[in-house]
């Protein structure tokens, strides 16, 4: 089948490359000429393991194309995916749908013959209805169906998530659209992937509900971690003890400095705003948003306490800047709250991240960026692990002690064992463990 993917951000690029690898002919469209030119030259604008090879293979096999000209791509497409950004709108937290609406208008003007218009972007309930009205208004003669097909991609594991998903959700009541979507995802039949067909509004809500539940689960274990520190319990063992219950499950029960990234912060906030608009406030998610925001800010206090309280003139060696490992994504990363707070207390921050420093340089000022983990902690009064990159899990701890001015280690991801660290002479602080 022929697919047009509007938007070459994280979701659009990964989805487009994976559909091409399924054997479909995919044209990715973006108005950013420099990005399209880089993609044509084989440069991938985001870090996602395996994506560069996947793109290169499908470009070489002439199944994947990049262009700034939407006309031919949309006119010839069986399905046009809208995969543009929906950031939180300034001032009220609602999802900014301006890019989605602009894409809908462009599709309306260019489509030819029956076309399935698919929202891959995360959008509030009712957005599909609005897209349908936009297209009908501009093209009363058009033959089309608007479908919701939310993405459930984890950064760092997106290709596997697309090719081996837990489920594929498709929101449509149109039989022709159902047939097209079934054909697009037919390669997943081999893995017996559940293809869940539902109403369009239900599909839109499934995405928000899933992300909100996972955010709530993270926030729950973070608050349990706080209790553990007060009563002398171990949050890792608590998480294991409850995670073995099949009704709860072990995933997303890892205590840390709070969630970040491109999805959870904006999606929880958008769900809160949508629920309020419809007169059905969702108090659990409201509290989750508040608790998570406060937690990220509180991490600087935790670091300061481990360093004796007074940070004036002291240096912090920070390992990890991205919101999670295996991505260069800095959006809503805990480091964006932690670093300025440490600087405000008078500390100098030396930092290293394997993939995120280019993005971090745009978002953090006054940071001394270093070329490696050992360089980042040299002469520092404390080492702080913010992101659990694999290379931080097996550091030469004898070397670490020699490089630090003071043997203080604040482990916000519980990478190391408290007993081991204290036996090595470290002043060790972690999350939910004493």
Q: Residue 89's pLDDT band (boundaries 50, 70, 90)?
A: confident
Q: Is 263 a catalytic residue?
A: yes
For the cut 90, the answer to whether the pLDDT of residue 294 exceeds it is yes
Mean pLDDT score of the chain: 96
Q: What span, in angstroms and rounded, lies between the C-alpha atoms of 386 and 322?
A: 8
- Show which of 182, 197, 212 is a domain's final residue: 197
Rounded mean pLDDT, 269-298: 96
Q: What span, in angstroms and rounded, lies between the C-alpha atoms of 125 and 159?
A: 27
For residue 425, the model assigns a pLDDT of 95
Looking at the structure, tell me whether residues 152 and 95 fall in a common domain: yes
For residue 130, the model assigns a pLDDT of 97
The string of DSSP letters for 220-252 reads: HHHHHHHHHHHHT--HHHHHHHHHTSTTT-STT
Nearby residues of 376 by Cβ (< 8 Å), 6 or more positions away: 317, 318, 319, 350, 351, 352, 370
Looking at the structure, tell me whether residues 67 and 162 fall in a common domain: yes
CA within 13 Å, CB half, 343 = 15
pLDDT tens per residue across span 238-272: 999 999 999 999 999 999 999 999 899 999 999 99
Q: Are strands 25-29 and 2-6 parallel, antiparallel or unpaired?
A: parallel
- Show which of 150, 178, 197 is a domain's final residue: 197
For residue 90, the model assigns a pLDDT of 78
Name the maximum alpha-carbon separation found in the chain. 75
Looking at the structure, tell me whether residues 147 and 254 fall in a common domain: no
Rounded mean pLDDT, 192-208: 96
Looking at the structure, tell me whether residues 173 and 264 fall in a common domain: no
Quick one: which of 210, 212, 85 has its CA closest to 152? 210
Q: Residue 216's pLDDT band (boundaries 50, 70, 90)?
A: very high
For residue 322, the model assigns a pLDDT of 97
Nearby residues of 365 by Cβ (< 8 Å), 6 or more positions away: none
314 falls within a domain: yes
Looking at the structure, tell me whether residues 183 and 319 fall in a common domain: no
Question: What does the angle CA 120 – CA 121 – CA 127 come to, to the nearest 5 degrees?
Answer: 100
Q: What span, in angstroms and rounded, lies between the C-alpha atoms of 386 and 412?
A: 6
pLDDT tens per residue across span 95-131: 899 999 999 999 999 999 999 999 999 999 999 999 9
Rounded mean pLDDT, 46-51: 94
Q: What span, in angstroms and rounded, lies between the C-alpha atoms of 275 and 266?
A: 14
For residue 162, the model assigns a pLDDT of 97
Looking at the structure, tell me whether residues 145 and 259 fall in a common domain: no
pLDDT tens per residue across span 336-391: 999 999 999 999 999 999 999 999 999 999 999 999 999 999 999 999 999 999 99
> Distance from first CA to last CA of the chain, Å, rounded?
57
Q: What span, in angstroms and rounded, lies between the C-alpha atoms of 364 and 378?
A: 21
434 falls within a domain: no
Q: Note the pTM of the prediction, 2 decimals.
A: 0.93
The proportion of the chain whose per-residue pLDDT surpasses 70, expressed as a percent, equals: 100
For the cut 80, the answer to whether the pLDDT of residue 91 exceeds it is no
210 falls within a domain: no
pLDDT tens per residue across span 15-35: 999 999 999 999 999 999 999
Quick one: which of 114, 98, 150 has its CA closest to 106? 98
Question: What does the angle CA 358 – CA 7 – CA 194 come to, to the nearest 5 degrees?
Answer: 105
Range of the domain at 39: 2-197
Phi-psi region of 91 (alpha: psi -120 to 50; beta: other; left: phi over 0): left
- Which CATH number fits the domain that encloses residue 180? 3.40.50.720
Sheet architecture: strand order including 144-148:
64-67, 25-29, 2-6, 79-82, 115-119, 144-148, 168-171, 195-198
Looking at the structure, tell me whether residues 305 and 188 fall in a common domain: no
Looking at the structure, tell me whether residues 305 and 397 fall in a common domain: yes
Phi-psi region of 87 (alpha: psi -120 to 50; beta: other; left: phi over 0): beta
Q: How far is CA 386 from CA 35, 320, 321, in A?
A: 30, 5, 7
Q: Residue 191's pLDDT band (boundaries 50, 70, 90)?
A: confident
Looking at the structure, tell me whether residues 48 and 181 fall in a common domain: yes
In this structure, the number of other CB atoms found within 10 A of the CB of residue 173 comes to 12
In this structure, the number of other CB atoms found within 10 A of the CB of residue 237 comes to 12
Q: What span, in angstroms and rounded, lies between the C-alpha atoms of 399 and 409?
A: 13
219 falls within a domain: no
Rounded mean pLDDT, 400-427: 97
In this structure, the number of other CB atoms found within 10 A of the CB of residue 410 comes to 23
Cα dihedral sign, 421-324-333-284: negative
- Show which of 176, 197, 218 is a domain's final residue: 197
Looking at the structure, tell me whether residues 72 and 156 fall in a common domain: yes
3-state secondary structure string across 18-83: HHHHCCCEEEEECCCHHHHHHHHCCCCCCCCCCHHHHHHHHHHCCCEEEECCHHHHHHCCCEEEEC
Number of domains in the chain: 2
Q: Residue 93's pLDDT band (boundaries 50, 70, 90)?
A: confident
Quick one: which of 59, 10, 6, 46 has its CA closest to 28? 6
Looking at the structure, tell me whether residues 106 and 235 fall in a common domain: no
390 falls within a domain: yes
pLDDT tens per residue across span 148-179: 999 999 999 999 999 999 999 999 999 999 99
331-361 CB burial, b ≥16 within 10 A, e <16: bbbbbbbbbbbbbebebbbbbbbbbbbebbe
375 falls within a domain: yes
Looking at the structure, tell me whether residues 418 and 325 fall in a common domain: yes
261 falls within a domain: yes
Q: What span, in angstroms and rounded, lies between the C-alpha atoms of 46 and 287?
A: 32
Q: Are 258 and 296 in contact (CB under 8 A)?
A: yes
18, 28, 228, 263: the catalytic one is 263
Q: What span, in angstroms and rounded, lies between the C-alpha atoms of 148 and 198?
A: 9
CA within 13 Å, CB half, 298 = 13
30 falls within a domain: yes
For residue 262, the model assigns a pLDDT of 87
């Amino acid at each position: 089948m022929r697919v047009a993917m509007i938007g070459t951000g994280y979701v659009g690029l990964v989805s487009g490359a994976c559909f091409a690898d399924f054997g479909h002919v995919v044209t990715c469209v973006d108005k950013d000429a420099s990005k399209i030119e880089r993609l044509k030259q084989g440069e991938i604008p985001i870090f996602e393991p395996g994506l560069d090879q996947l793109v290169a293979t499908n470009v070489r096999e002439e199944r994947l194309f990049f262009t700034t000209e939407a006309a031919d791509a949309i006119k010839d497409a069986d399905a046009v995916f809208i995969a543009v950004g929906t950031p939180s709108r300034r001032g009220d937290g609602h999802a900014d749908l301006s890019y989605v609406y602009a894409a809908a208008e462009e599709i309306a003007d260019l489509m030819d013959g029956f076309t399935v218009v698919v929202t891959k972007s995360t959008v509030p309930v009712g957005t599909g209805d609005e897209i349908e009205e936009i297209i009908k208004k501009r093209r009363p003669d058009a033959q089309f169906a608007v479908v919701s097909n939310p993405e459930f991609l984890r950064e760092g594991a997106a290709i596997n998530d697309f090719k081996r998903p837990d489920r594929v959700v498709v929101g449509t009541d149109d039989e022709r659209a159902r047939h097209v979507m079934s054909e697009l995802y037919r390669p997943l039949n081999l893995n017996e992937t559940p293809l869940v067909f539902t109403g369009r509004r239900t599909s839109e809500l499934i995405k928000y509900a899933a992300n909100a539940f996972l955010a709530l689960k993270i926030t729950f274990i973070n608050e349990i971690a706080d209790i553990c520190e007060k009563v002398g319990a171990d949050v890792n063992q608590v998480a294991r003890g409850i995670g073995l219950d099949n009704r709860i499950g072990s995933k997303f029960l890892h205590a840390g400095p709070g969630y970040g990234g491109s999805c959870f912060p904006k999606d929880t906030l958008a769900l809160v705003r949508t629920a309020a608009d419809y007169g059905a406030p969702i108090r659990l998610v409201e509290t989750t948003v508040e608790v998570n925001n406060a937690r990220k800010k509180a991490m600087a206090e935790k670091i300061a306490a481990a360093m004796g309280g007074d940070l004036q003139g002291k240096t912090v060696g920070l390992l990890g800047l991205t919101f999670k490992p295996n991505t260069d994504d800095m959006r809503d990363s805990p480091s964006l709250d932690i670093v300025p707070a440490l600087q405000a207390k008078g500390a100098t921050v030396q930092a290293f991240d394997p993939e995120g420093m280019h993005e971090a340089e745009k978002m953090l000022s006054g940071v001394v960026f270093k070329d490696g983990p050992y360089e980042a902690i040299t002469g520092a009064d404390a080492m702080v692990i913010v992101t659990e990159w694999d290379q931080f899990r097996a550091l030469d701890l004898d070397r670490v002690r020699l490089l630090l001015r003071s043997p203080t280690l604040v482990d916000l991801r519980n990478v190391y064992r408290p007993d081991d660290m204290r036996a090595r002479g470290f002043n060790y602080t972690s999350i939910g463990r004493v």
